Structure 1
Amino acid sequence: MPALATNFLNILKDKLEKDFVPHLPELIEKKRPKADQDKKQLSRAFSGFVLHKMLNLGIADAAHSVVDDFDDNGLDAIHYEATSKTLFLVQTKFEVGKQFDEPDAIRFRNGADLLLGQRYDRFNTNVKRRKDELDDAFDEAERIQLVVAYIGTGFSAHANAALKELTENEEHHEVQAERLQPDIAEYGPDKVQADLLAEQSVGVVNGKLRLSKWQHLDGHRDTHIGIVQVSALVALHNDHKKALYERNIRYFLGSRESDVNKAIQETLRTAPNEFFYLNNGVTALADLIESPRGSKVSKLLEFRGLSVINGAQTISSAAEFVAQNPGCDISDAKVLITIIKADSEGRFGRSVTRARNHQNPVSTGNFASLDPRQEELRRELAYLGYSYHYRPEATPRNAEVSTSIITIEQAMKALALFEVDSRYPFWLKNEISRFQNAESSEYQSLFTHTLTGAQLVNKVKFFRFVRDVLASNAAATKGAEGLFYKHGAFVVAAVLAKRCRTLVNEADVLRQTQLNELLSAPLDQCRQVCWDKARPLVGQGRSVLSYFQSQGSTVRLLDSCMSAIYGLEQAEAYNAVKQIADRREAFPQERVFRYLATQAPQI
């Protein structure tokens, strides 16, 4: 198992320090160096985080359950859950580079053994002060559960075996043995990451809907079909807002921007009883659907995890209409609804969403919203203080000028600049749709599973700085040179990007002022050299725009600029690589551009 990734480790550390450390019991040993105390506090806070997530405990209660200190005798947290009558004994390892191994397990086993014997005198003050509480817990508990939590590379087989010696020893502490659970509960890096991302989710939609003319299809997929009042869907919209459409390809377009939505509202105004016949209906997915009461004439469905995947415009338009016309009666307005039991984020859920929306006028870019990677990035960027919008219609009007908003189009452009493929600057200028199709190789080369939120932010900051500087140059410079800064911006940015790969791939988000200071001089040099290379080519009866509308011209200029700026024009290795022709190359001059990219001097 891989350890917790650095980007999520940074998020976790920040959360532990801000949310959990203030609620921890005071350190008993305060004479240690501050660096040791700070490290210990994070480790202790992680024990509280584990209980908070595993048992849905409040942060303060979870932190108060921590007994970890510099001398804890192998136990880091103890918590009794009265509702399940379970006593949890927790040992954590807050080290990325190491497994939870046999020595850790032996310490945990020995500590648990002493506690099961109620030998409180062998523990630190954090345990001793809870003697009465723990005595009551041992009297009431029906189960005792050992928990191992870690952020490193796994829970070794030897460690598991060492703990099994305790859990499978039926003669050990006779009263406790029958309550001690045989399986060790694990909480590893995958669960840490999932729980961190879940905190930034838009919420779960649970509730009820009453359907008339209800039909139940219980074949391959549990499906419920019927007629529902539009007012009931409006109520769901008002209660849950965007959470109701989380896996929808599009959010609400707004009645002022869509003729379809205007028509929906006009029907509600003038002929609500005709609404059913003029609408295609609503499709939703739900994690759980129950139909305990009613008949086919009127069936009450209870659902959990509902997501409307087709019909967002219908419901949102109706909700907008009701808000603007509170006195208007729409009780006669009804719509056909299909609710399918399926995980909206699973493969089947995404395929249904795609199929149902092919009937609508949606762009290729809209389908990127079905890629779970986009939602993961949105949640991760939220921790970093950025609002990420991957649904084009949901993009705020101030997205281009706000430093805290990142759109998927900005992300695509920024990421593409750092790729080696010689065609990307040309496509960014002329065929941006190549990067918008989630099934394309171009899209997949950008939004990889190794891309971190910090890297994305840094690359977008780089892109914005270069874009803005070149736009200023274009506005201030007349003639072909000004047009070059306008139409050749992606070439200049791609050349400079290769020099910044180490910089933007740092684990932390770079300050914009820091990035600007580092890039100002290199960008000025890059801009000038690129123009010097382009000047003889774009002023001979050919417009600058038409020059950059040619893939061949763009690729040749890119080669010329990179070799000059990286100081490789006279390099023997570079010229040797240029002599090699290979029809099997994935893109024009693949060997050349891979060589140039690896030789780019880093800023």
Structure 2
Amino acid sequence: MELQERQVRRRLEEDFESHIDLSDYQQHSESEQAKARTTRALAALTVAARAMVSVDEACASVVDESNDQGIDAIGISAARREVYVVQTKTSVGGPSPTEVMKFVHGIRCLLDWDWDALGPKARRRRGEIEEVLADARVIAIFSYLGAQGPNEDASRLSNQLTEDVNAAGDILEFHYEGLRENFERRNIASGLSSPDSELTFDRWITMSDYRSEIMGIVSGEQLATLTEQFSELLFDKNIRAILRSTETNEVLDETLRDSPSDFWYYNNGITIVANSIGCSRTNPRSSNETFSLKGLSVVNGAQTCGALSRAFRSNLPLDDVHVTVRVISTAEHPEDFEKQVTRYTNTQNQVSNREFVALDPYQQELSDLLLAEKVQYSFRTGQALDDEEYDFAFDLEEATRALSCWSGVANATRAKREIGRMWADLSASPYLELFPRDLNAAIMYNSVRFWRSFRDSYNSAGREREHRAKNIVKNSEFMASALFMQWARGNAAEFTNIDWDVAAFMAGCTDQVRVLAECVVARHERENPGGFAMSFFKNQQKVETFARAVRADFLQELQSSSGTS
């Protein structure tokens, strides 16, 4: 055994193996248990090194079991918007074509949401994984302890997978990480404690003493580097969910890309809590001063850090990006001080694009018109819907989705990808395309009812199909709704009639909805075979072209079936 392998195995045993769950191996021999423990420990090491999560969290990401389709762990970095799908091998030699083939099949099952093909451990995390996959990059890693790389046949399999999945957009990477890579990161467990780092402030002030708190200006590049270095360790567990895709993320990304020098003006900054704040000088300078932060944690501003990290990895220049940073020391504060700061900095003064819609007087006019018909339209955040008092109730978000489909495939695709952007500018498109000054309140009301009914019928047609087709149907529902609304408007749909019986209309369209679902799946499999539906149906240019072809297929099928009958 090479010394490198010996030292990696020692670290696996001492740092990870005691945290590995082997409850499903109780009936196996000790040697088989030992082998499984090491294999799972290597998977956990890979996740810990990639996602920068604790040993316990990395070990909890392990999904290795019989019938796991070659997937031994699924790790998540919300900060980087990455999902790590890992297969491991601890025996001598490089990845064989058979092993890679199984792993490739497992990845395809995961991306197609074929949960029945995966093991119970992966299925138990279905909700969490599907949510993240909707807006994440997938990093597939074959991790092993051999010194040699994959042979030509194995590489061909992984290259073909990458080519197929990335046909509609670059969302998958495939890496082989052997003994050298694992040796280099073997000591990762010792670096998974609370981060310590230094920040240089261009300018700063304090309320009393710099050792208690600092507020000042920090370069965006420093924060991007900090996020890249520590990833999940940088953020309080209570706010990691904030790092999911939101309208705020999209606006941050756009500002960093298009007007980086304006970032400071538009951004609220971040709040850091640290165990202590130090400086090498007794009397720190008022500008260009470096402070050492022990045990730091970002408790507000996770989205900002995530956006800076994404810009950094996209090689966007951050020279002109600056951020207001507030650092608070927990020294001499109560034990729960950090939790209180986390709680209140994430619940106070949070304003999004949606809140500004309340400033549009036409929204109130639409609401008043529907109220007289016993229909509740809530466009203000925090206003509860009351289905008991009103005949029908819906909110701004649902109206925006429905009207996006009413206005056409382009806006439907935008709404699927980034609904918050639909409200970004109340004086311009796409907002005014959805809510023009002459919008008939009955159209909005009926569009929402149509949207609800169509989705139920369309997804019901999808559930009748196998897993990949079901996934395609689910991810195409915005585009399909736009196409079906267009078809319905030419086939006796009465969107302008407040008394229109939408339910009855849709009940008579079951066959047409099923035909549309079949056309979408068939066309997708011709144009994006083996591709990832989640990514495909967010690509506006591809979807608009695709929708025109689907519409032609759909009308031809309807004409054919009508002629047959």
What TM-score range do you get, normalising by the shorter chain?
A: 0.3 to 0.5
| TM-score, scaled relative to structure 2 | 0.34
Scaled by the length of structure 1, the TM-score of the pair is: 0.32
Structure with the greater alpha carbon radius of gyration: 1
